[in-house]
C-alpha cells in the first residue's frame, strides 16, 4: 500500500503547504482522508483518476479539512463519474455535512453518481470498512469539535493517524504502532486543541513506535531544531506535500 500526503499544512495560512489531506491506496482502491487544496490536481498528480476514488473520510468539520469537497465533487461530475462515492462521516457531524452539501446545491448539478453517506459513531472505536487488505477503523480524537482519528491495519502492520487533536491517551495505549501520523501544529508551544511536536515526542512512547510522521505543520515553526535535539531523530519524519510512503 501507499500513503500519499497531498497536503501537510495546519489551519494557519502557509506559503508552502496545502492543508492536511492524505490518500491511502493499494491495488484495489483509494481512500482520501479530508479534502483540502485542489484535490483533483493532487489526485491526478499521484495517478489516481477521479472516477477511481472509492471513499472519502471526513475527520471533522473545520474548514481546512473540508473546503476541497465542492471542488472534488465538481471535478467528478465534469469527468462523468458514474461509480458511487462513499463518504464516511461521524454522525455527530451529519447535520454539518447536510448543510455543506446543500450550500453546494449539488442536487441541481445533475451528477451521474450516487453519494453514499455512511454515518458512524465517532465517539467510540468503530470498524469502518476495508479496501482490499487495508482495514480502516475510527477512534475519538480530542479537539474543539467532534473529531476522529484513524487506525489502518495492513498485513499485520498498524498505522495510526490523528490530524487535529490534543495528546490522546487512546493512541498511547497501543502496544505498538508501525507508523504514527500525528499533527504538530507548533514545534514547542503548547496550545489547546492541538499538539506540539515536543508533546508528540515526549507524551507517546517512541520505543513502541517504529516511525512518526508529523503533519498539520505551520510555517515559521522550527521543527528541525526539535528533531535535532532528539536521540530518536531517525524515526521522525517532518512531512512535506506529496511525500509518499510505501509499505
Ligand atoms: Zn486542522
Ligand atoms: Zn480542526
89-101: per-residue pLDDT in tens? 999 999 999 999 9
CA 62 – ligand 2 centroid, Å: 5
CATH of the domain at 229: 3.60.15.10
Helix/strand/coil for 89: strand
How far apart are alpha carbons 167 and 196 in whole angstroms?
A: 9
Instruction: Record the cell numbers describing residue 101, joined without a space.
Output: 452539501
Say if CB 184 and CB 208 are below 8 A apart.
no
CA 11 – ligand 1 centroid, Å: 5
CA 167 – ligand 1 centroid, Å: 15
Query: Into how many domains does the chain fold?
Result: 1
CA 208 – ligand 1 centroid, Å: 26
For the chain, what is the mean pLDDT?
97
CA 80 – ligand 1 centroid, Å: 31
Number of helices (H) and strands (E), helices first, in the chain?
A: 7, 14
CA 71 – ligand 2 centroid, Å: 20
How far apart are alpha carbons 9 and 2 in whole angstroms?
A: 20
Burial readout 31-62 (b: 16 or more C-beta within 10 A, e: otherwise):
bbbbbbbbbbebbeeeebebeebbbbbbbbbb
The whole domain housing 184 covers 2-246
113-150: per-residue pLDDT in tens? 999 999 999 999 999 999 999 999 999 999 999 999 99
Q: How far is CA 229 from CA 209, 232, 234, 235, in A?
A: 18, 9, 11, 13
Amino acid at each position: 500500500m501507499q500513503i500519499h500526503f497531498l497536503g501537510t499544512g495546519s489551519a494557519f495560512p502557509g506559503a508552502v503547504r496545502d492543508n492536511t489531506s492524505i490518500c491511502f491506496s493499494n491495488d484495489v482502491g483509494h481512500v482520501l482522508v479530508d479534502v483540502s487544496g485542489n484535490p483533483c490536481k493532487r489526485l491526478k498528480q499521484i495517478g489516481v483518476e477521479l472516477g477511481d476514488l472509492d471513499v472519502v473520510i471526513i475527520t471533522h468539520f473545520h474548514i481546512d479539512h473540508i473546503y476541497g469537497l465542492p471542488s472534488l465533487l465538481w471535478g467528478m461530475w465534469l469527468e462523468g463519474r458514474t461509480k458511487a462515492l462513499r463518504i464516511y462521516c461521524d454522525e455527530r457531524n451529519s447535520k454539518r455535512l447536510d448543510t455543506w452539501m446543500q450550500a453546494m446545491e449539488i442536487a441541481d448539478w445533475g451528477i451521474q453518481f450516487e453519494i453514499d453517506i455512511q454515518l458512524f459513531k465517532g465517539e467510540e472505536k468503530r470498524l469502518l470498512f476495508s479496501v482490499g487488505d487495508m482495514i480502516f477503523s475510527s477512534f475519538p480524537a480530542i479537539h474543539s469539535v467532534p473529531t476522529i482519528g484513524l487506525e489502518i491495519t495492513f498485513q499485520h502492520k498498524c498505522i495510526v493517524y490523528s490530524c487535529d487533536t490534543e495528546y490522546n491517551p487512546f493512541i498511547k495505549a497501543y502496544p505498538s504502532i508501525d507508523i504514527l501520523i500525528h499533527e504538530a501544529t507548533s514545534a514547542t508551544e503548547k496550545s489547546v486543541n492541538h499538539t506540539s511536536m515536543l508533546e508528540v515526542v515526549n507524551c507517546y512512547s517512541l520505543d513502541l513506535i517504529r516511525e512518526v510522521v508529523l503533519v498539520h505543520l505551520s510555517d515559521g515553526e522550527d521543527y528541525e531544531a526539535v528533531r535535532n535535539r532528539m536521540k530518536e531523530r531517525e524515526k521522525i519524519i517532518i512531512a512535506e506535500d506529496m511525500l509518499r510512503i510505501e509499505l
